[in-house]
Amino acid sequence: MTTNPSRPKALVIRTAGTNCDQELLRAFQMAGAATTSIHLDNLCADPTQLRSFDLIAFPGGFSYGDDISSGRIKAMHARQHLLPELIAARDRGTPIIGICNGFQVLTQLGLLPGDSNSNSNSDDGNASVALCQNEHGRFIDDWAVMELNHNSNCIWTQELKNFTDPTVCRFPYAHAEGRLVLADHYQINPDLVPLRYATNINGSHDRIAGVCDPTGLIFGLMPHPERMLDWNRHPFATRLDSATKSGPTPGLSIFTSAVNAVKNQGAVV
């Protein structure tokens, strides 16, 4: 059991080229977790360190300069050294999130979408989903209205249901390779799609912004919820009523959802 169940332990895995790891640490802290940041090389030397954490996060950025392709080198190191421990973490109920570059890593590891109908995302290229160059072939950054799938069991998005006005739920995005595509003959289960873009910003299949695995524990998304933890970051903050701004932002709600789920289950690590 955690030494302090009221303060679950969250791990942010950083490496060369990642960014927003500090914002991610702050997100977990604001959500009520104790936080630690560990370099990927350190974890690869001793993957059993993952057993000490109740939540695991892969931040965004441009890991290893996105040489070869986005997230490829980080995914290669994680596959070689961390994958068995990540699977074990999922099996014992540990929530795992990957944001932007982290989402790219989780798909290449085969942890997403992770359903029985998908191929193994192995190094031979047999991936069921991939995050490819945006439809218009350029880097984009702006804000997008999110469309929530209320039927999804993704634990990370449960508290987004508190936002009855769909236009309030907006996340910033910044990516060049965020267009989600499916392999030939693969059909993703709609319940594994917790978030869609209200307007398709990058050409993603079915406007998909984020994907979870069948357990609802593993979640990857291209937008950056950790960049809008405070209401004054919302693009229309001055237009929102005080009642809306009395609670956590949609971005923070992603993290409170997972932290509260861990608290409620009394996570075993």
Catalytic residue among 100, 132, 154, 212: 100
Among residues 23, 175, 224, 234, the one annotated as catalytic is 224
Identify the three-state secondary structure at position 16.
coil
Q: How is residue 176 annotated by DSSP?
A: S
User: Which tokens go with 34?
Assistant: 């104790």
Burial of 77 (0-12, 13-18, 19+ CB in 10 A): middle
224 among known catalytic residues: yes
H-run or E-run covering 250: helix 250-265
The burial of 182, by beta-carbon neighbours within 10 Å (0-12 exposed, 13-18 middle, 19 or more buried), is given as: middle
Rounded Cα gap, residues 29 and 11, in angstroms: 11
Residue type, 165: D
Q: How far apart are CA 19 and CA 142, in angstroms?
A: 17
Is 132 noted as a catalytic residue in this protein? no
**Rounded Cα–Cα distance for residues 57 and 211 (Å):** 15
Sheet of 34-39: strand order equals 34-39, 9-14, 55-58, 96-99, 218-221, 208-212, 195-197, 140-148, 170-175
Q: Is 154 marked active-site?
A: no
Any idea which residues carry the catalytic annotation? 100, 224, 226
